[in-house]
């Protein structure tokens, strides 16, 4: 008894279906927004989200104040975002391959550098993904 399995190459329709599936999956996995980030220094208290409660800050000190675009009337308090630097006016500002998870703890109305920025990062958060001497950067962020 001979049992041969015949293998036929995929049809153009099968190839197209597979290509669409891969594209949709890749698109689905990379739903991020683009914005800008600045940095601010202590004192970080009080905040609009949690007042003077120092337990609001993650142990990593990776936190931020939300700009108007993501503030959502305070609903952004406690949200966590994955953030990475994608570019800046000064070449070499971004630390390539670095992504951080930050927690929103404040509204970005205090720092003067926050005008129009998406988020204002703590000094630690900013310095983890970009050259700490930079003033601002373009970021990619997602929930």
Write out the two tokens for 114. Answer: 């926050």
pTM of the model: 0.77
Contacts of 33 (CB under 8 A, 6+ apart): 118, 140, 141, 142
Confidence check: pLDDT of 35 > 60:
yes
Query: Count of CB atoms within 10 A of residue 39's CB?
Result: 24
Nearest-angstrom CA–CA distance, 33 and 107: 19
- For the chain, the farthest-separated pair of C-alpha atoms sits apart, in whole angstroms, at 82
Query: Count of CB atoms within 10 A of residue 90's CB?
Result: 14
Percent of the chain with pLDDT over 90: 71
Nearest-angstrom CA–CA distance, 111 and 122: 11
Half-sphere exposure at residue 74, Cβ-oriented, CA atoms within 13 angstroms:
5
Position 98 scores a pLDDT of 96
pLDDT digits 0-9 by tens, 48-79: 999 999 999 999 999 999 999 999 999 999 99
Q: What is the DSSP letter of 42?
A: S
Q: Average pLDDT in the 24-42 region? A: 76
* C-alpha closest to that of 66 among 79, 56, 55, 57: 79
pLDDT digits 0-9 by tens, 101-133: 999 999 998 554 556 899 999 999 999 999 999
């Amino acid at each position: 008894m001979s049992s041969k399995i015949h293998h036929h190459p995929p049809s153009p329709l099968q190839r197209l279906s597979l290509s669409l599936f891969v594209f949709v999956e890749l698109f689905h996995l990379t739903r991020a927004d683009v914005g800008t980030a600045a940095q601010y220094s202590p004192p970080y208290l009080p905040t609009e989200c949690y007042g003077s409660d120092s337990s609001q800050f993650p142990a990593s000190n990776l936190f931020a104040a939300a700009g108007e675009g993501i503030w959502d009337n305070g609903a952004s308090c406690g949200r966590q975002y994955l953030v990475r630097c994608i570019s800046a006016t000064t070449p070499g500002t971004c630390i390539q391959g670095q992504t951080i998870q930050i927690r929103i703890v404040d509204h970005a109305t205090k720092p003067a550098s926050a005008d129009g920025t998406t988020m204002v990062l703590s000094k630690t958060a900013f310095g983890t993904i970009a050259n700490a001497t930079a003033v601002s950067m373009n970021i990619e962020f997602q929930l």
